[in-house]
A and B are shown apart, each in its own frame.
Chain A
Amino acid sequence: MLDLAEAFPAALRQIAILDPQLIEIIALSLRVTLTAVAIATVIGFAVGGILAVYRFPGRGALAATLSALMGLPPVVAGLFIYLLLSNAGPLGVLQLLYTPQAMIIVQVILVIPIVAALTRQTCADLLEEYREQLHSLGASSALIVTTLLWDGRYRLITAVLAGFGRAIAEVGAVMIVGGNIDHVTRTMTTAIALETSKGNIALALALGMILLAIALAINMALMGITRLASHFAYA
């Protein structure tokens, strides 16, 4: 096995030369995940907010399902989407298999439960505090949802970042629906899997370090935001 001590300098060298293929892979990863998170956020905020505010039969079951889906194994989601998008499947006509769009779709599915469940929790907590006052002021249910979403913005940002973290790091789902095609659907995680299987430990490690750096950046942003929020008592 390649010595860990040898692998690190080799990996750093790979990063330093800014290999264009490396850049291409990183750009695709970011593009897919950022798009997926943006879409999932809009949907997740709405679902979470509505679940927290509106009363309807089956509400409890839906909330429990969302929480459970947070733990959905990515590879299972990948398999499911693959079967849908396959030419032998119901959505085959869309010709989306093995494209970045398919990868976005599967990541959206993985991120929505996280954002929605955390949004629901945040809004429910805030609602406990605000309910009577908002009722007294005469806010409609729809307005209460948007009010809670805005007021909970710092907590919600952390929910979005949690979703981002999950999406950028997963490999199983995007491998299945994307096919890890060179220049088309090869992301950081699928490239790591491939290079590892080719024994290119140095390159795999380089990608891994970049992925780690991104995750670190997210977490530092998280800490910064929560600190800012407490400063203004906005948490």
Chain B
Amino acid sequence: MLDHPRSLAEARPLSSGTLLPVELHGLSLEAGGRRLIDGVDLAVEDPGISVIMGPNGAGKSLLLRLMHGLIAPTEGTILWAGTPMNGQIRRRQAMVFQKPVLLRRTAVANIAYALGLRGVARSERGSRAFQALELAGLERHACTPARILSGGEQQRLCLARALSLDPEVLFLDEPTASLDPASSLAIERLLVNAKHRGIKVIVVTHDVGQARRLAQDVIFLHHGRLIEHQPAPRFFEQPESDAACAFMAGGLVL
């Protein structure tokens, strides 16, 4: 449960590893003369699943990429447990994108590839990859060319790959946007499982129902600005901002 964003000095020891809390200070991203992310101040402390929501074009995906270090901000800083974002920190995180990105190899080879990047010995890669496949229920497809799998299976594979890296933070950008309900359910189960294993999950979603099912706290963005950051029950019951109210009511938020 989150009352107010605490300052670093008052931070209590957290169970999800040493990367939290993450603090964004005055984060801005400008491109083509437009401010896509505008002065975001945000702190995420607790373990559990944080959900980022907002209308299209609010900057949710960009915020995710900034936090994962894929893009550099124009202004502001991102601190992970007090350390500015760097390559080493990124290697302790993982990300799943909206469209599954898989190499032109078998399913197990895709996971083994990622493990190889993390320095896992060649002899171990196969077994660990297989374990990851089992966790996602894909062990039957181990030797299938990854790109032949269905959309839902591919996304589960991407998630399995991400989880095989033992990340401390897991980012997901609308992971079930184009999936059927059964696949979405499978993905959500894996996320809850990850949460229980102590992985911090930050997921962008459009799906209000999904947000209700998963969220511990909700980060609401609009026009690149942070509008609200609330514990989930409070947000869903009574959003503070007009924009959030309109969004939850299902209207088009301009």
Q: How many A-B residue pairs have CB under 8 A?
A: 46
Number of interface residues of A (CB under 8 A): 17
Interface centre among A130, A132, A151 (most CB of B within 10 A): A132
A163 to chain B, nearest CB (A): 22
Known: A151-B104, A234-B104. A135 touches B145 (CB 8 A): no
Binds A, one of B19-27, B94-102, B202-210: B94-102
A136 close to B94 (CB less than 8 A): yes
Query: Besides the contacts A138-B91, A153-B104, what 11 more A-B pairs have beta carbons closer than 8 Å?
Result: A130-B101, A132-B65, A132-B101, A133-B97, A137-B117, A138-B117, A143-B117, A232-B147, A233-B147, A234-B104, A234-B145
Interface of A is mostly: helix
Interface residues of A in 123-148 (CB under 8 A from B): 129-130, 132-133, 135-139, 143, 147
Interface residues of B in 60-92 (CB under 8 A from A): 65, 68, 70, 87, 90-91
Interface residues of A in 92-134 (CB under 8 A from B): 129-130, 132-133
For B87, what are the chain A residues with a Cβ–Cβ distance below 8 Å? 138
Any A CB within 8 A of the CB of B114: yes
Measured CB to CB, the nearest residue on chain B to A140 is B117
* Alpha-carbon separation in the docked complex, A175 to B201 (Å): 67
* Alpha-carbon separation in the docked complex, A135 to B114 (Å): 11
Interface residues of B in 93-113 (CB under 8 A from A): 93-95, 97, 101, 103-105, 113
For the complex of A and B, the 4 pairs showing the least CB-CB separation, nearest first, are A233-B147, A133-B101, A136-B95, A232-B145
B90 close to A138 (CB less than 8 A): yes
B148 close to A233 (CB less than 8 A): yes
For B95, what are the chain A residues with a Cβ–Cβ distance below 8 Å? 133, 136
B68 close to A136 (CB less than 8 A): yes
A135 close to B70 (CB less than 8 A): yes
Known: A136-B70, A138-B117, A143-B117. A151 touches B103 (CB 8 A): yes
B145 close to A136 (CB less than 8 A): no
B89 to chain A, nearest CB (A): 11
B145 close to A233 (CB less than 8 A): yes
